[in-house]
Amino acid sequence: MSKLEAKIILSGVDNASRPLQNSTKNTKLLAEQLLKTKAELKGFNQIQKNLSGFVTLKNNTQKVGTELEQARNKVNLLSQAIKQSSSSTKKWWMILKRPNKKRHN
């Protein structure tokens, strides 16, 4: 086989295999991009979990805030009731502490 024949054959092989080589390169690039996309998707899933946790915490905080407000209202009502009963009790106590004129006679 002459050099010219070898060059022609090798040129034909190169031309025939070039699309396969390009396809192999593209496949490698695609695999790398898929790995990057998979990692990003994993990160997004973690962010979604964090957001779900945040929403749960926010809802629980609002619920606790509402319960706290209700408890404060109850305390205020009880405080007012105690003040009213205290003033009535003080009046009765003062009446009872007064010396009875009938007892001293």
Residues 14-68 have pLDDT tens digits of 788 888 788 889 899 999 999 999 999 999 999 999 999 999 999 999 999 999 9
Residue 105's pLDDT is: 46
Residue 21's pLDDT is: 83
Return the C-alpha torsion angle 8, 14, 19, 24, nearest 10: 170
Give residue 6's pLDDT band: very low, low, confident or very high (50, 70, 90).
confident
Q: What is the pTM (predicted TM-score) of this model?
A: 0.45
Residues 64-80 have pLDDT tens digits of 999 999 999 999 998 88
- Positive or negative: CA dihedral 100, 101, 104, 105: negative
**Residue boundaries of the structural domains of the chain:** 3-104
**Could you give the CA distance from residue 25 to residue 19 in angstroms, rounded to a whole number?**
10
